[in-house]
Structures are given as structure tokens and as C-alpha cells.
Structure 1
Amino acid sequence: METTRLEAFSDGVFAIAITLLILEIKVPPPGTALGAELLGLWPSYLAYVVSFLVIGAIWINHHAMFKHIVRVDGMLLRLNVLHLMLIAFLPFPTAVLAEAFHRGTDEPIAAAFYGGILTVIGIFVNAMWRYAARGNRLISTHLTATKIRKINRHFLIGPSVYAIATVVALVVPWLALLIFVLLNVFYLWPRWGHESAPSRIGDPTVSSDRSEND
């Protein structure tokens, strides 16, 4: 089958997850010093910005990936569902991270928990791409072997750096958060040539009978 329904469903999950992030930021209670209370919410603002960048970067690269993946089968659908399950879960570790910094306790555990989830998300991104690209199973024929290897390396950066940052978080949580931000600023601009991918219109691989439905 073609990728249209998978992409539409994925976009919906990304949109809901990124919207839920703001719900963690609570309005200060009445009768308090509003200015001080708003300033005191800085951990929530920080966690919100980090997770917004994370989800935004993952969505951009998901879109870029499906410039090259032109058909799906049952296994890719399942991998994508597991990937989206973790995306939808991300507001929870975001809230845990913000609360830990609010209290000033357990920041290393909260940051490592957050980093661990990002690491698993990165693993599923790699699993999706490598499954689709193996033997040109589900990708467009315009991709060369050199380009596929380049994309493989690009995607491998994510879980590798996230795993390192997760370990760093147990010692210096602030540094881990900085690594999360910098990595996702990097991923906001995919560097593996999806902009030059040809249109799917007229691509014979889109309607190929080689697609596997299960």
C-alpha cells in the first residue's frame, strides 16, 4: 500500500503530543505574587521548549524519511505504531523532568529517564528506516547505495548521542539537557538530501506490485 494513510495518522499523533506539552504548565493560583510565580515556572518552560524541539525535529525527519519510503507493508506499519506510542508518551517524562527541577531533587534520575525515552525513540526511527531500505524493500529506486549509507549514518547519530547523554544525565543533568537541545537543533535541518528527492508522481515504485501487505 502507499504511505498516505500512515503519514496522515502519524501527523495526527505528532500534533496531539506536541499540543499536550503545554498542559504541564499550570496557571499560578490566585492570591499569589503573579510575577514571582511566573518566573518560578522556568523549569516547566525549559522542559516545554526541549520537548517541543524534540517532537518537531522528529516530525521533520519522519516527513523527510517518507520522501524516500514510497510504500509500506505490515511490518513497517507496526514499527511506526510503536514509534508513535513513544511519541505520545513523551509529555509524561517531560512533566517528570519539569517537576524534578521544580523541587530541586532527583534531577539526574528525571533527566536520565527522559533521555532513555529519547534513546528508544531513536532506535525505532532507525528500525523503521533500515527495515524499509534493506534490499530497497520499500524505498524509491532513485536512491543510490551511497545515499542509503549516508542516511543510515545520519539516523544513527540520534540514539547514539541520546544514549551518551542519558549516562551524562546521571552525573550532570544540565549538560544532558544541553545535549538534547543541540542534537535536536541539528535535526531541525535534515542534511541527507531529502529536498532533492524527486516527486512521487510518475515514480514507478509508488504503485509497484512488490509491496507486502503483511
Structure 2
Amino acid sequence: MSDTREPMSVGRLEAFSDGVFAIAITLLVLEIRLPAGEGDLLDKLAHLWPSYLAYVISFLLIGMIWMNHHRMFHHIRRVDGTLLGLNVLLLMSVSFLPFPTHVLAETLHDRHDSQTAAAFYGVVLVIGGVFYNAVWCYASIGHRLLGDTITPDEARTLRIRWGMGPVLYLVATLLGLWSAAASLVLYILLLVFYFFDLRPRRAGSAPTP
């Protein structure tokens, strides 16, 4: 008997993805805990500055991934099983981010193994970047799942621009083995860079979401 089920829509995939992004970004705050024991509350709150820093970086990182995920799916018009699987792998890496965020914050508190924690954080970002680019490459090569909102040349340009991400995060990861602070600075710079919409602009065209 033939399969008469309707294929999953792009909208449904985005809705599920949005839910995972929302949960992951909310879980970040649960890793910030007030130190136990006696002491001045203001001092305790000030002592949590590494947790605040790690929280802000990871919150904005997940937000940046979510924005670019939305920008990517503006051009994707069809979904198949392979794309679903690759998107699940991307979401898996996103939902894992609260853990390396907690590890990074804890090591920055006592300055012990901070280089290892910064590198571990970077490895998670590299893996996430690989999965993100796998989604776009699969959808865009040969214009396999794309609509007419982007040309093949524009899609190829975007593959190059987004493809720089895992490479640059790998550089930041290796830098973390030498200096956690330098690695964090590079993570922040990359975060700022990828916040911007890197999609090619056509002359005279209106901005897209």
C-alpha cells in the first residue's frame, strides 16, 4: 500500500526548532546558583560574575544561531528525511550548550582548568557549526530544497560565509588551550560578526526577514 502521508512542512520543522531553542536558552539561567554558606549577599552576587559572563555569551550565541536558522529557512522550501536528521543534530548541539556554559563558569570562578573549559566550550561550538553548515549545504547544493528567493550563486556565497564559522571557532578553541581569556574574546567577536545578516543582497531588493 502506498504511503499517503503528507510530508512535513517547513513551518512545522521551524516550530519544533523554535521550541528547542527556547528551552535551551531558558535552561542557561538555571546554572546560576547563589553560593552556599554565610556571608554578605552583595559579595556573593559579585562573586558570580563568571556565571553572568558565561550566561550572556551563551544566551546571545543561541540567539544568534536561532536568527541565522530563521534566515536559512527563509530560503528552504521543502523538507526531506535527511534534512530532518541534520536539523536534529544541530538542535542536539544547541540543547547541550548549557552544560559547557556551566563548566566554563565554574572554572572561571576558581581559575583552575579554565583553558580546558574554554577549549571544551569551543569544541561544542565547532560541532554545532558543522551541523549548521551540513543543513545548509545539503539543502542548497544543486538547489536541492531551495525556492526562488535565492540564486545558486548566492547560495554558494552563503555556504562560504557560513562555512567560515566552524573554522574560526576551531581557531578560538585551540587558542583556549593557551589562554581562556583570549579564547572568550574571540568567541565574543565571532558572535558579534555572525549576528549580522550575511546573506547576499541583490541590487534594489527589499530586506528579507
The answer, yes or no, to whether TM exceeds 0.5 is yes
Separation in 2, partners of 1:118, 1:72: 25
Higher RCO (C-alpha 8 Å, min separation 6): 1
C-alpha separation between the residues in 1 aligned to 2:37 and 2:178?
38
Supply the AA of the counterpart residue of 2:101.
T
Q: Note the C-alpha offset of 1:173.
A: 1.1
Asked if 1:123 corresponds to 2:123, the answer is: no
The match for 2:113 is: 106
1:144 maps to 151
What is the TM-score with the length of structure 2 in the denominator? 0.90
Deviation at 1:103, TM superposition (A): 1.6
CA distance in 2, matches of 1:28, 1:111: 22
Among residues 168, 188, 191, which one is paired with 1:181 in the alignment?
188
Deviation (angstroms), 1:28: 4.0
The alpha-carbon distance between structure 1 residues 197 and 135, as it changes in their structure 2 partners (threshold 3 A), is farther
For residues 164 and 110 of structure 2, what CA distance do their matches in structure 1 show? 32
Runs of 4 or more, structure 1, over 4 Å off, are none
Pairwise CA distance, 1:145:
2.4
Matched, 1:70 2:77: yes
Q: Distance in 2 between matches of 1:7 and 1:83?
A: 13
Report the identity percentage.
Answer: 52
Aligned to 2:102: 95
Give the letter aligned to residue 58 of structure 1. I
| Structure 1 residue 53 corresponds to structure 2 residue 60 | yes
1:102-129 CA-to-partner distances (Å, cap 9, x unmatched) read 1210001000000000000000011000
Cα contact 1:53–1:181 (8 A) shared by 2: no
Indicate the RMSD between aligned Cα atoms, in angstroms: 1.6
The alignment status of 1:22 with 2:52, answered yes or no, reads no
- The answer as to whether partners of 2:142 and 2:152 remain within 8 angstroms in 1 is no
The 1-side partners of 2:144 and 2:153 are apart by: 16
Cα displacement string for residues 169-195 of structure 1 (whole angstroms, at most 9, x for unaligned residues): 000111111111111111112121487
Q: Deviations over 1:129-150 (max 9, x none)?
A: 0000111110013322221122
Once the 2 structures are TM-superposed, how far is the Cα of residue 29 of structure 1 from its aligned partner?
A: 3.7
Return 5+ residue gaps in structure 1 as ranges. Answer: 199-214
Say whether residues 1:133 and 2:140 are aligned partners. Answer: yes
Q: Contact 2:77–2:146 at 8 Å: present in 1 too?
A: yes
Query: For 2:175 and 2:113, how far apart are their aligned partners in 1?
Result: 14
The count of aligned residue pairs is 198
Q: Which stretch shifts more, 143-152 or 51-60? A: 143-152
Describe the shift of the 1:196–1:146 C-alpha distance in structure 2 as closer, same or farther (beyond 3 A): farther
CA drift at 1:78: 0.4
Write the letter of the residue equivalent to 1:42: W
| Structure-1-length-normalised TM-score | 0.88
Match of 1:164 in 2: 171
CA distance in 2, matches of 1:173, 1:64: 31
Once residues 14 and 117 of structure 2 are traced to their aligned partners in structure 1, the CA distance between those partners, rounded to angstroms, is 31
